[in-house]
Amino acid sequence: MSMTDPIADALTRIRNSLKSEFPLVVIPGSKVVISIVEILKEEGYIEDFLVKSDGYKKNIHIALKYLDDGRPVIKGIERVSKPGRRVYCDKENLPRVLNGLGIAIISTSKGLMTSEKARQVGIGGEVICKVY
């Protein structure tokens, strides 16, 4: 099975695992997906992650984060730019997710970063996904 959109696949696996209240989710790893997961950890949306490699194939093991009452920290995680419809923003029009309560992950010429960081650096890019 060839995967046309590994990012959407990773986000869907995270979303489904949160709905099922799984403590752990394993997703196929790529450089971009690993960068996204690193941002999720930095921003406090996931507990932790580990990249395991068996030679040629990488898997990311993610420990999902839940509040004390059992609700997931991530309320929503959605793909914005898709292979069929790319979404780009210049530095003036970077998205704000729920008035700054969520994050948008942007692919810039300086790597993946949140829209806030891109705003500070003063660059735009492709809007990969929104997390809130």
Can you give the pLDDT at residue 55? 85
Which pLDDT tens digits describe the chain residue by residue (132 residues)? 457 899 999 999 999 999 999 999 999 999 999 999 999 999 999 999 999 998 889 999 999 999 999 999 999 999 999 999 999 999 999 999 998 899 999 999 999 999 999 999 999 999 999 999
In 3D, which of 112, 114, 113, 72 has the Cα closest to residue 97? 114
Residue 124 lies inside a defined structural domain of this protein:
yes
Establish if 22 belongs to a structural domain. Answer: yes
Backbone angles phi, psi at 31, to 5 degrees: -55, -45
Domain residue limits at 28? 6-131
Do the domain assignments include residue 107?
yes
The total domain count for the chain is: 1
**Would you say residue 1 lies in a domain?**
no
Whether the CB-CB separation of 94 and 40 falls below 8 Å is answered with no
Q: 61 - beta bridge partners?
A: 26, 50
